[in-house]
Structures are given as structure tokens and as C-alpha cells.
């Protein structure tokens, strides 16, 4: 078991282009002194130069899937040389009529090195196991699909 923490800090400031409202910009303070500039998405009066919470959710899920996949690949004797994913999240109304990230599509592209290369069936099994064991995937309710890229 472990406990994880982050700090979110916001201070009132005028919106950059709309005087009648406030800035959505804030900071996420993470371990090691990392500071991430965050805002609402541009569609919700946020700053397009900042990360938005939906992007952070996608990044957290894709990162968790990748880290779990890398551990599984190593246990199976595969050497992963490169991994890239471009997750896509769908913000739409859920069954209760509320806005939610209802679907997330992962599209991992994995390049292996070494003498052992998994076939398509082995690769699919490793991604399925990574999804099943990913802490973030086990936490969220959005439907998640994983379509590995060649």
C-alpha cells in the first residue's frame, strides 16, 4: 500500500481575454518540486498553453498502462526499446446526462529490441494484462480500449 499526494493551487486573477470572468490557470505541485501549469481546456475558457485536467487524466492512464506493460514485458524476457502512446479521450454526456470522459482510447506503439520479439497474440495478451493490472484503469469508470499500433 502507498499514499500519494499532490497540491493544487489557484489564486484569483482576471481572465486574459474576458474581463467579466476569472482565470482558470492554476498549478499542480508534484513530488521533486515539479510545477505543472494547468487550466481548463480552451473550450471552457481555459488557457490553451496549459495542460488541462482531461489531458492529465489521459496521461495518467497511458503512463500507468505503459509502466505496467514494461514490467510485464520484462518478466516475459522481452526488451522494449521504445514506447509511444497518443491517448484520446471523449468528453461527452454520460448515462446520467452529465459531462464526463466516457471513453479513452490508448494506441500504444511498442518497438522491441533483442533476440526475442512477441508475435501479435503475445503482444495482445501483454496489453490485456497491463490494462487489467493498471492502477489507474482499475480506478476510473470510463470505458478504455487499447489498440496497439504496429
Q: What domains can be seen in the chain, in order of their start residue?
A: 7-44 (no CATH), 53-146 (3.30.300.20)
Model pLDDT, residue 116: 86
State phi, psi for 136 to the nearest 5 degrees: -70, -45
Model pLDDT, residue 149: 86
pLDDT tens digits, the chain, 150 residues: what are they?
A: 899 999 999 999 999 999 999 999 999 999 989 999 999 999 999 999 999 999 999 999 999 999 999 999 999 999 999 999 999 999 999 999 999 999 999 999 999 998 889 999 999 999 999 999 999 999 999 889 999 987
- Closest residue by Cα to residue 47 from 57, 58, 38: 38
Long-range contacts of 49-56 (CB under 8 A, 24+ apart): 50/25, 54/89, 54/91, 54/101, 56/28
Alpha helices in 10-134 (DSSP H): 53-75, 120-133
- Rounded to whole angstroms, how far apart are CA atoms 55 and 25? 15
Model pLDDT, residue 150: 74
Write down the pTM of the prediction. 0.93
- Rounded to whole angstroms, how far apart are CA atoms 41 and 19? 18
Model pLDDT, residue 131: 97
Amino acid at each position: 500500500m502507498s499514499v500519494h499526494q499532490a497540491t493544487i493551487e489557484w489564486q484569483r486573477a482576471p481572465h486574459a481575454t474576458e474581463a467579466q470572468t476569472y482565470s482558470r490557470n492554476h498549478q499542480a505541485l508534484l513530488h521533486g518540486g515539479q510545477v505543472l501549469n494547468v487550466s481548463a481546456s480552451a473550450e471552457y475558457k481555459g488557457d490553451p498553453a496549459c495542460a488541462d485536467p482531461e489531458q492529465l487524466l489521459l496521461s495518467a492512464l497511458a503512463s500507468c498502462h505503459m509502466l505496467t506493460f514494461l514490467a510485464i514485458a520484462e518478466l516475459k524476457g522481452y526488451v522494449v526499446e521504445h514506447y509511444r502512446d497518443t491517448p484520446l479521450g471523449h468528453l461527452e454526456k454520460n448515462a446520467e446526462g452529465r459531462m464526463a470522459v466516457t471513453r479513452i482510447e490508448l494506441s500504444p506503439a511498442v518497438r522491441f529490441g533483442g533476440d526475442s520479439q512477441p508475435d501479435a497474440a503475445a503482444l495482445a495478451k501483454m496489453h490485456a494484462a497491463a490494462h487489467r493490472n493498471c492502477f489507474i484503469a482499475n480506478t476510473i469508470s470510463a470505458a478504455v480500449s487499447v489498440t496497439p499500433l504496429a
